[in-house]
Structures are given as structure tokens and as C-alpha cells.
Amino acid sequence: QVQLVESGGGLVQAGGSLRLSCAASGSIFSINFMGWYRQALGKQRELVATITSGGRTNYADSVKGRFTISRDNTKNTVYLQMNSLKPEKTRVYYCIANEGGRGYWGQGTQVTVSS
């Protein structure tokens, strides 16, 4: 099993930046990819970005050019650098890890961007 702990969320003004972190523990050696999803209240959870064990990245169109996903294998941590944040309702960002075809989710970290 894989345990994920997110951190780095908070309140930021539009145009600002935040960096989210997701630390993985447990059966980390079999993780195929990790990533970030986000969910607003009453909305479906949506993909933000993913990164494979080989470093290949994928982004939602809405965040391309503004968000960067990266990983530090020495710390078993994935990051999401979010720049040029747009004003929006509060969303919870969730970290996901796929290990052996099974998905594991973190508890989420809240992000609010004020106008």
C-alpha cells in the first residue's frame, strides 16, 4: 500500500503562486505514476497533472504553461508549482499515486485564490 500526505495549500491572491507537495510512503517502488487532481464543491474531480516514474508529464489544458509538476525521487515527493493563479472558488487538490494498477489518494489540501 501507498500512503500520501499533501501539504502547501492555502489562500493566495490572483496572480500569485503556491507550491503543493505530496510525500509518498509505503510500497513506493512500484509506483507507476503520481499526479494531482482537484475538486470544487459540488463538482467532479478533475485531472490537473501527472508525472510517470520516468518523468513524463501530462497537464490539463487549463493549467498548461502555468503549473509544473515535478518529483524528487530521493524524497519520494511530488510537487505542483502553481503560478499565475486565477481567482476561483475554493478547490481541494488531491495527490494520487498508481501502484501496480491501483490508485491511492491523499487527504487533499485546500487552495483558495482570491480576486
The model's confidence at residue 29, banded by pLDDT at 50, 70 and 90, is: confident
Query: 23: Cβ–Cβ under 8 A, 6 or more apart, which residues?
Result: 4, 5, 7, 75, 76, 77
CA distance 39 to 108: 9
What percent of the chain stands above pLDDT 70?
100
Q: What phi and psi, each to the nearest 5 degrees, are found at residue 15?
A: 90, -10
At 69-115, the pLDDT tens digits run: 999 988 899 999 999 999 988 999 999 999 888 999 999 999 999 99
CB 98 within 8 A of CB 32: yes
Query: 33: Cβ–Cβ under 8 A, 6 or more apart, which residues?
Result: 50, 51, 52, 53, 97, 98
CA distance 33 to 50: 7
